[in-house]
Chain A
Amino acid sequence: MDWQGQKLAEQLMQILLLAFAVVAFATGYISGSFQMMVLIYAGGVVLTTLVTVPNWPFFNRHPLKWLDPSEADKHPKPQEAVSAKKKPAKK
């Protein structure tokens, strides 16, 4: 997933779960059936899992542009600073 995809996945997850919760509670309360509420919500959780958890292609519409390997060789990696203190050479 790219960064945009991650954000989309999180928002989708929250909105879908909340929406299913509201629908489930309303349906259960109006029809007087607790079981209806639980079933609708459970179905909603499964659906949300299928939509937001796997790495679907539509989450990768803004892919990161990784540097080409041949291009990377032209720009050497910065060296780590060498320690100033040198070990005294043994005579």
Chain B
Amino acid sequence: MHSFGYRANALVTFAVTILALMCAMASISDNFNHPSPSAHVEVLNINWFQKQSKGNDEVSMQLNISADLQSLFTWNTKQVFVFVAAEYGTPKNSLNQISLWDGIIPSREHAKFWIHTSNKYHFIDQGSNLRGKEFNLTLHWHVMPKTGKMFADKIVMTGYRLPEEYR
């Protein structure tokens, strides 16, 4: 501590190191949160179901997505990224996952929601395997922290089925 500059440097270094430790502790505190989210997705309507000129099936559907993700938020949560994916198997691919809709939940107040929408992203198969196809809809979420580790999980909903014929 021999001079102004010396003391200023020592203080800044120590302060930043302590800040890093506080952020680590804040991230660790997220592990004490045991969330209990719930979600439900309903296929209200199949808008159209066609085979494209390239030979791939495409379907457009109306979805009703409702969820209560409030318990995911902690003091260290910046936002929650949520998306709905369709999952099914084909002879070519044992598992196909297609993101149909996503959104960002900026705060706890917005985390209990329902939305009535058509699929935001195209539901296109690699091939024409979708007629009569049974598929799952999964709601995934990524809890993005202000500092530290990101947590991700999902809810799988089964029992959906596409029509037998194009329309």
Contacts and interface: CB of A to CB of B under 8 A. Distances in A.
Interface of A: 1, 6-7, 9-10, 13-14, 17-18, 21, 24-25, 28-29, 32-34, 37, 41, 45, 48-49, 52-55
Contact of A48 (B11, B22, B25, B146): B11
Contact of B1 (A9, A24, A41, A45): A9
Given A13-B11, A13-B14, A18-B18, 4 more contacts: A17-B14, A34-B146, A37-B22, A37-B26
Contacts of B19: 21, 41
Leading 7 A-B pairs by shortest Cβ distance? A6-B1, A32-B75, A21-B18, A53-B7, A45-B15, A10-B1, A34-B146
20 contacts: A13-B11, A17-B11, A21-B22, A25-B22, A25-B25, A28-B75, A29-B29, A34-B26, A34-B76, A34-B146, A41-B19, A41-B22, A45-B11, A48-B11, A48-B15, A49-B8, A52-B11, A53-B4, A53-B7, A55-B4
A52 B29 CA distance: 32
A10 B76 CA distance: 32
Nearest to A36: B75
B18 A17 contact: yes
Given A17-B14, A41-B19, A33 B25 contact: no
For chain A, what secondary structure do more than half of its interface residues adopt (helix, strand, loop), or is it mixed? Answer: helix
Contact of A24 (B4, B10, B22, B76): B22
B54 interface: no
A29 B75 CA distance: 7
Contacts of B1: 1, 6-7, 9-10
B22 A53 contact: no
A27 B76 CA distance: 13
A13 B26 contact: no
A87 B82 CA distance: 89
A91 B75 CA distance: 93
Contacts of A1: 1
B7 A13 contact: yes
